[in-house]
């Protein structure tokens, strides 16, 4: 029973990884295809209320944009949308499956296909979840797509970092979710229509083509179903997207007390008052037009990856001929993942609490420390595993000191000369302390225990006493030494450690009011 549960959990994990990876790739391909049309759509939606409008329609907007900026201008700011497309599509497919599993586990039969109504509901749930992830990315995308004219009439291209910094400075972290209501409505209703329409058209083709459950639809039918899904997604809830785009392209400095002075309902009323229903559907035609091929590509690519590429990749991964190079790839992957998981939360806390600087500077420090730790562990894993593999091939077997040689090579080339940074220093000090503890255990471990210790201490009573008190002795010596250094030679202590110790101990000496006695240091 336990084995069955374990195998089911492993299968669910595998499916989740596939949905995230394949959904991300399909979303990126779809976004590359549709992005110039999306830029035109946002520029049409975000036109001010004054008459006459700058653009007469989609073709005029495309012509003016291409004439002024070329194709590069139509792809301006695509970095954030590519990330957004990967996040949105992978999240949609993943949460869509989770919602189906939930319905089967709680309400509907496990082994029967879900009715269309349930699939619409699962699509709505996946859209609602995805909207929380998508709003900040959409905000950056919309601000980058709309040209900014300064006081001298010069067109400026905002950067992602400057947009995030400006939003955070004027509206705080909640400002990144400005326009969330529009995204929620669009994604919830649109995703229900997206998945529901696709499933309905697919069911129609299967019924009239007399296809079995395991048979695949022809490619043109898959693309037709995807195109219908994209058109339904964009047309039905398009007004919510128009209001969201208008909100997210407004000047971030037009805030009162850190809050935007335009709500979802207020912006919607203004657009209706100025332009009526046509204003809410401004740019809808080109949006629906670009959505058809984009969604067709997304669904067709995703289905192809799930059914064909998965089997091909798994055959390669499980082929013994490719084990050694794939072992190096996985070692690098593990180094990146572990280095990021260890360093990011540490850097986040240390920088935000103990470092001075602007929000942008702090973000750079956090990302720099995280990138360096992840990169170094990945490089070390590559050098170590590659050296072990080479020594094994050279000697015909693994020798006892191969690990010493391979580890030494990795330490020298990754953490050695010209690599003396604060992050590397912390890693080496951590390793050195662990080695000292391990060597202390080997000194008292009998030579016949396990792989054998050094057996220097032979009396059982003395060995037990050392094992019992060794950690306490190390803690006593370490803390006594570091406090002496902090008191009389603080300049030699690693900066982040010195900052945290200054906060705890040195800043406890001074205060001049109840406020900075309780809430913060003087």
The secondary structure of 26-91 as a DSSP string is: HHHHHHHHHHHHHHHHHHHHT--SSSS-S-SSHHHHHHHHHHHHHHHHHTTT-HHHHHHHHHHHHH
Q: Report whether pLDDT(69) > 60.
A: yes
Q: Report whether pLDDT(306) > 80.
A: no
Among 229, 231, 233, CA closest to 204 = 229
Structure tokens at 476: 């006593």
Residue 11 is predicted with a pLDDT of: 61
Question: What's the CA gap between 352 and 346, in Å, rounded?
Answer: 10
Q: Packing angle between helix 422-444 and helix 495-504, nearest 10 degrees?
A: 90
Structure tokens at 362: 């702090």
Residue 512 is predicted with a pLDDT of: 78
User: For residue 316, what pLDDT band results from cuts at 50, 70 and 90?
Assistant: confident
pTM above 0.85, yes or no: no
Residue 256 is predicted with a pLDDT of: 38
Among 69, 47, 48, CA closest to 58 = 47
Mean pLDDT of 434-460: 70
Kindly state the helix (H) or strand (E) to which residue 276 belongs, with its residue range: helix 264-280
Question: What's the CA gap between 404 and 406, in Å, rounded?
Answer: 6
Question: What's the CA gap between 123 and 194, in Å, rounded?
Answer: 7
Question: What's 338-380 look like in SS3?
Answer: HHHHHHHHHHHHHHHHHCCCCHHHHHHHHHHHHHHHHHHHHHH
**Cβ burial 277-303 (10 Å sphere, 16+ → b, else e):** eebbbbbbebbbbbbbbbbbbbbbbbb
Structure tokens at 322: 């490719």
- 259 beta partners: 256
Eight-class DSSP state of 484? H
Among 195, 185, 197, 18, CA closest to 122 = 195
Q: Report whether pLDDT(14) > 50.
A: yes
Q: Report whether pLDDT(252) > 50.
A: no
Question: What's the CA gap between 145 and 153, in Å, rounded?
Answer: 18
Tokens 């662990």, residue?
434
Residue 443 is predicted with a pLDDT of: 74
* Contact partners, residue 424, CB within 8 Å, separation at least 6: 372, 376, 415
Residue 206 is predicted with a pLDDT of: 86
Residue 125 is predicted with a pLDDT of: 92
Structure tokens at 106: 């709680």
Mean pLDDT of 135-146: 75
Question: What's the CA gap between 240 and 182, in Å, rounded?
Answer: 5
Tokens 């709500």, residue?
263
Q: Report whether pLDDT(66) > 80.
A: no
Total residue length of the chain: 522
Residue 80 is predicted with a pLDDT of: 65
User: For residue 91, what pLDDT band results from cuts at 50, 70 and 90?
Assistant: confident
Tokens 């077997």, residue?
397
Residue 268 is predicted with a pLDDT of: 77
Mean pLDDT of 281-304: 81
Residue 154 is predicted with a pLDDT of: 54
Which range (21-25, 302-306, 310-314, 479-483) has the least confidence? Answer: 310-314
Residue 258 is predicted with a pLDDT of: 40
How many angstroms separate the first and last alpha carbons of the chain?
61
Kindly state the helix (H) or strand (E) to which residue 256 belongs, with its residue range: strand 255-256
Tokens 């301006």, residue?
76
């Amino acid at each position: 029973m336990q084995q069955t549960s374990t195998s089911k959990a492993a299968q669910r994990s595998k499916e989740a990884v596939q949905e995230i990876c394949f959904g991300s790739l399909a979303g990126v391909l779809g976004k590359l295809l549709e992005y110039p049309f999306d830029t035109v759509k946002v520029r049409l939606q975000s036109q001010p209320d004054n008459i006459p409008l700058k653009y007469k329609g989609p073709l005029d907007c495309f012509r003016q944009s291409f004439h002024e900026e070329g194709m590069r201008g139509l792809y301006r700011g695509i970095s954030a949308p590519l990330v957004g497309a990967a996040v949105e599509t992978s999240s949609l497919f993943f949460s869509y499956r989770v919602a189906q599993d939930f319905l089967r586990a709680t309400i509907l039969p496990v082994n029967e296909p879900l009715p269309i109504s349930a699939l619409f509901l699962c699509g709505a749930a996946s859209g609602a979840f995805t909207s929380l992830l998508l709003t900040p990315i959409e905000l950056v995308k919309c601000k980058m797509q709309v040209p900014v004219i300064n006081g001298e009439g010069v067109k400026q291209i905002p950067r992602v970092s400057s947009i995030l910094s400006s939003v955070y400075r004027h509206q705080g972290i909640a400002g990144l979710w400005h326009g969330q209501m529009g995204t929620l409505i669009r994604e919830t209703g649109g995703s229900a229509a997206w998945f529901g329409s696709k499933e309905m058209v697919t069911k129609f083709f299967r019924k009239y083509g007399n296809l079995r459950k395991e048979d695949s639809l022809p490619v043109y039918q898959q693309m037709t179903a995807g195109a219908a899904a994209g058109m339904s997604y964009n047309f039905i809830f398009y007004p919510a997207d128009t209001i969201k785009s208008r909100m997210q392209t407004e000047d971030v400095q037009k805030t009162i007390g850190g809050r935007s002075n335009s709500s979802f309902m207020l912006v919607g009323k203004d657009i209706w008052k100025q332009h009526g229903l046509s204003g809410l559907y401004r740019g809808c035609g080109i949006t629906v037009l670009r959505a058809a091929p984009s969604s067709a590509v997304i669904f067709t690519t995703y289905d192809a990856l799930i059914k064909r590429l998965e089997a091909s990749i798994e055959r390669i991964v499980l082929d013994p001929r490719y084990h050694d190079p794939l072992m190096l790839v996985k070692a690098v992957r593990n180094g990146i993942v572990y280095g990021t998981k260890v360093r990011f939360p540490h850097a986040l806390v240390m920088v935000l609490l103990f470092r001075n600087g602007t929000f942008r500077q702090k973000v750079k420090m956090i990302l720099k420390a995280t990138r360096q730790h992840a990169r170094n562990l990945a490089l070390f894993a590559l050098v170590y595993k590659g050296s072990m593999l080479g020594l094994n091939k050279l000697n015909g077997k693994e020798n006892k000191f191969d690990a010493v040689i391979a580890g030494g090579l990795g330490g020298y080339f990754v953490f050695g000369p010209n690599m003396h940074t604060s992050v590397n220093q912390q890693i080496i000090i951590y390793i050195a302390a662990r080695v000292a503890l391990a060597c202390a255990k080997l000194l008292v471990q009998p030579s016949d225990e396990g792989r054998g210790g050094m057996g220097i201490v032979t009396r059982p009573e003395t060995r037990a006493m050392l094992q019992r008190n060794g950690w306490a002795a190390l803690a006593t010596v370490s803390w006594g030494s570091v406090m002496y250094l902090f008191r009389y030679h603080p300049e030699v202590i690693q900066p982040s450690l010195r900052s945290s110790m200054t906060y705890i101990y040195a800043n406890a000496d001074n205060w001049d009011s109840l406020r900075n006695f309780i809430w913060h240091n003087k």
